[in-house]
Structure 1
Amino acid sequence: MTDQNIEQRPSMPLQTYQEAVAWITGLIPFGIRPGLERIEELMERLANPHRRLKFIHVAGTNGKGSTCAYLTSVLLHGGYDVGTFTSPYITKFTNRFQYNGVDIEEQTLLRLANELKPHVEAIAETELGSPTMFEVSTALAVLFFATVTYPDYVVWETGLGGRLDVTNIVHPVVSVITNIGHDHMDRLGDTIAAVASEKAGIIKAGIPVVSAVEQPEAVEVIKQAATDKKSTLYLLGEQFHETVLSVQEDEQVFRFDNLFRTIEPITITLNGAHQRTNAAVAVMTLEVLRQYKALVVEDDVLAEGLRAAAWPGRLEMVSQQPRILLDGAHNPEGAESLAHALKNTYKHDHLHLMMGMLENKNHQQVLEHILPIVDTLIVTEPDYRMKKEARELADLVLEMKQQQPDKYNFELIVEKNWKTALQKLQQLTGETDLGVVTGTLYLIADVRSRILYNSDSEKGW
């Protein structure tokens, strides 16, 4: 059979859910290729179903998922039908595509994958090349919401960046930029201003934007982008404010002020000061929709929705005996938020922390936040092809310890196998201690599944 005959062979339908997921994730070798040409071509072939949906587009370095969880929870409590598209997933591939808080059914995913497959293969034969895993996942999400479930709103999380991110195909009713930090700088630019410029790419002409960006250079970029697009900007610290009233484990209470009104008290059960920020961003987003899009959400519904919001793998206590906390702090800002929460929210005699990272992360700045507060550090390796070797991470830790011996006082344990590392963490963590697992969400997903005895775990992007 010639190569030409192979190329012209008709697309064979996928037979099972597992085959569909394997086909989509099999596109990973095509990598992350910024640009909208392939997704635009896919949408065109499908008659542009995304144009029929109302999107709340959420970008940012950290806090995207939690902000999406708050928005989804409040809208659901308000009686709205809600689609939610997030990444990565913690337990199963279907987690990424939710309607009213429930994963897409396996058979629906299979059917939609078969609808996409011939188009994906046809585009792969053109000069555009094959659509990537994330592009196909995004297209599948659009089909799920536009042709199967028909939600009132779609809470739509960016994958990477904003301007050239595949999700930027949509025209939202409001744009959200949670914050800007040092992550994916190999792809988004080597300064905070450059990263901010990429995130600001989701700002659309005349569409309001809500943000909690803090750094002066990032604020300047966001303000300029909003001005250029004639978009009204609502910035935390300027057009809206969050004032803490009380904090204890699993309960934070704050007051929310904006241009329109004051709401207090607001209670959330997610931990960490950063979650108050994320909740405030979500509330401001809903206020904008209330003012300009006739969204109806009563204050008691808002309170219920915020209190009920949950987001797995972020300051999540998955075990009480011993106390084991999971947090996917994989960049410096995430590590800073984790360290702040460990010092201010969680009581413990000794802190034992297990960490596994990917190769391309800013490890030293992450460690600078973590090392001063731990009694034991266990470095391990996530079960993933781009993992950082445990020995290499340990060498960096030892180098930092030697440079500042007075600052760092902890025991270092190196254990390549994450399952063995987890056993050691559990054994070390006494009744009045706290065990923490942090780093890449690939590690968090595996540990979470193991502790909660969830045999359905697939984990990944």
Structure 2
Amino acid sequence: MMNSLTDNLPSILYGEGDRLAILKALLKQLGHPDQTMKIIHVAGTNGKGSTGTMIAHLLLGHGYRTGIFTSPHLYTECESIRVNDQMINQEEFNRVMIEVHQAAVILGLNPETDLSQFETTFLIAMVYYAHLACDYLVLECGVGGALDATNAISHSDYAIFTKIGMDHLNLLGDSLQAIVETKAGIMRPNQQVVVAPHQKDGVLSFLKTKANAMGSKLFDSSDQVVHFVRPYYYQVELSTKMYQLYLPLLGRFQTENLKTVMKWYQVWLSVEDEKVEKVNLASVFKKIKMTGRFEQVQSDPTVILDAAHNLDAIEEFVASIQASYPNQALNILCGFLKDKDVASILDRLITLPANFYVTQPDFPERAMASEELAVMFEERGVTPTICPDSRSCLIDLMEDSTRPVLVVGSFHLIKKVRDLFDD
């Protein structure tokens, strides 16, 4: 397992002083790399990774050199920075990091204490995309929107809002209204704005009001025609023509993500005067992969890993499992961070017919202890098994070929076990 290249940096500095002013000054010092490409900025609570990845593949299918910035990573920040679906290599990452550090020193900053891991990775990414002369960048927000490091960019051409819900309450606010206002901060004047379907009450109306005030056009994905046929197979409508797609991503929620992507795609085709006939949609979508997001990593027995770490994601996880494995006995290994709404998460999770195994994610500062999680299960009439070692527990569970094994919760739990399935 690779170590993080920026482990020595502060993990987060969100909200500490005017972070955006610092990052904007650094982008200027680095030659405004953000101004060299068209940018699709993606914000939301869930679905950002899948949505952004599909969009990047569509642009690549049209022949554009396309960068994508995602988070979090599993093993190394290199995973967050890709061009044409190829990850930056470690040597190049280190070389560009030196360039970023030199810019920080010129501005009187200490790059080892005044920049967080995420901020440093974002700056490295922007310089790298400019070096490779990317035509487009799909830029995924880390946390929130208005104060997120990615919002230091000077412009974006498209803003996409995936499903917005309650998460990161300690950073974004303890109400849906506060969270929506923060995420809406990525909007720019005269922009194309696309919103995922089935938003919570008040979300769409707020985004519409803000878009109108900024002279931007907003497109609601709710009317986009996407039919779920069976797992991995969909029908989508573009310009009155139906297309059959194989999308190798599991989960009921992918229907909503596809609606968002197809709505954006139709807007993009019109704005950029492009033609869908230039690309083989079936070929584009069958190449898409996502690690740790409702990912089936083994078939005998079935093993699914899902970094469903907040209430909305758990609700989608439960619904997807109920649809795929109705009334089937399951083994579920789970672990969460203590700043999540774990009580509500467990209320949903225990509706599944499962034996539960609890463990502590590999994030000591924020992880909920497995003993504390076990008590919360017991308060709901369920007695779980405590697993001090998540990897050993998962290996043992896979000995039972009669039950699908589901690993769900914090990304730091998925990170701990995912390499068991690396080729």
Q: TM-score under structure 2 normalisation?
A: 0.92
Partner of 1:435: 405
Q: CA RMSD in A?
A: 2.2
Deviation at 1:45, TM superposition (A): 1.3
- The answer as to whether partners of 1:268 and 1:309 remain within 8 angstroms in 2 is yes
In structure 2, do the counterparts of structure 1 residues 124 and 350 end up closer, same or farther at CA, with 3 Å as the change threshold?
farther
In structure 2, do the counterparts of structure 1 residues 263 and 56 end up closer, same or farther at CA, with 3 Å as the change threshold?
farther
Q: For residue 400 of structure 1, what is the amino acid of its counterpart?
A: R
- Choose 1 or 2 for highest CA Rg: 1
Q: Secondary structure at the match of 1:394?
A: helix
Q: Secondary structure at the match of 1:88?
A: coil
Deviation at 1:41, TM superposition (A): 1.3
- The answer as to whether partners of 2:50 and 2:257 remain within 8 angstroms in 1 is yes
Q: For residue 47 of structure 2, what is the amino acid of its counterpart?
A: G
In structure 2, do the counterparts of structure 1 residues 411 and 349 end up closer, same or farther at CA, with 3 Å as the change threshold?
farther
**2:206 is the alignment partner of 1:221:** yes
- The answer as to whether partners of 2:14 and 2:147 remain within 8 angstroms in 1 is no
Q: Secondary structure at the match of 1:317?
A: strand
Q: For residue 412 of structure 2, what is the amino acid of its counterpart?
A: Y
In structure 2, do the counterparts of structure 1 residues 295 and 164 end up closer, same or farther at CA, with 3 Å as the change threshold?
farther
Q: Distance in 2 between matches of 1:106 and 1:265?
A: 38
Partner of 1:422: 394
Q: Secondary structure at the match of 2:165?
A: coil
Partner of 2:38: 54
Deviation at 1:430, TM superposition (A): 2.4
1:167 to 130, 134, 150: 150
**2:214 is the alignment partner of 1:244:** no
In structure 2, do the counterparts of structure 1 residues 390 and 264 end up closer, same or farther at CA, with 3 Å as the change threshold?
same
Q: Secondary structure at the match of 1:298?
A: helix
| CA offset digits 1:278-313 (Å, max 9, x no partner) | 122112112111111234443752232223322111
| CA offset digits 1:166-220 (Å, max 9, x no partner) | 1112211211011111110111111111111111111110101001151121112
For 1:34-433, list aligned pairs within 5 A: 35-123=19-107, 125=109, 130-147=114-131, 149-170=132-153, 171-212=155-196, 214-237=199-222, 240-248=223-231, 251-256=232-237, 261=240, 263-298=242-277, 301-346=280-325, 349-385=328-364, 386-401=366-381, 411-427=383-399, 429-431=400-402, 433=403
* Between 411-420 and 323-332, the greater mean CA deviation after superposition: 411-420
* Between 109-118 and 348-357, the greater mean CA deviation after superposition: 348-357
- The answer as to whether partners of 1:353 and 1:425 remain within 8 angstroms in 2 is no
Q: Distance in 1 between matches of 2:340 and 2:156?
A: 31
Q: For residue 357 of structure 2, what is the amino acid of its counterpart?
A: I
In structure 2, do the counterparts of structure 1 residues 286 and 99 end up closer, same or farther at CA, with 3 Å as the change threshold?
same
In structure 2, do the counterparts of structure 1 residues 81 and 53 end up closer, same or farther at CA, with 3 Å as the change threshold?
same
For this pair of structures, how many residues does the alignment match?
A: 415
Q: Distance in 2 between matches of 1:280 and 1:366?
A: 26
Show structure 1 runs of 5+ residues with no match: 1-16, 402-409, 454-461
Q: TM-score under structure 1 normalisation?
A: 0.85
Q: For residue 296 of structure 2, what is the amino acid of its counterpart?
A: M
| CA offset digits 1:71-104 (Å, max 9, x no partner) | 1222222222111110011243211111111111
Q: Distance in 1 between matches of 2:338 and 2:225?
A: 36
| CA offset digits 1:256-290 (Å, max 9, x no partner) | 46xx6454444423122211111221121121111
Show structure 2 runs of 5+ residues with no match: none
- The answer as to whether partners of 1:75 and 1:297 remain within 8 angstroms in 2 is no
Q: Distance in 1 between matches of 2:235 and 2:125?
A: 34
- The answer as to whether partners of 2:45 and 2:162 remain within 8 angstroms in 1 is yes
- The answer as to whether partners of 1:72 and 1:155 remain within 8 angstroms in 2 is yes
In structure 2, do the counterparts of structure 1 residues 113 and 196 end up closer, same or farther at CA, with 3 Å as the change threshold?
same
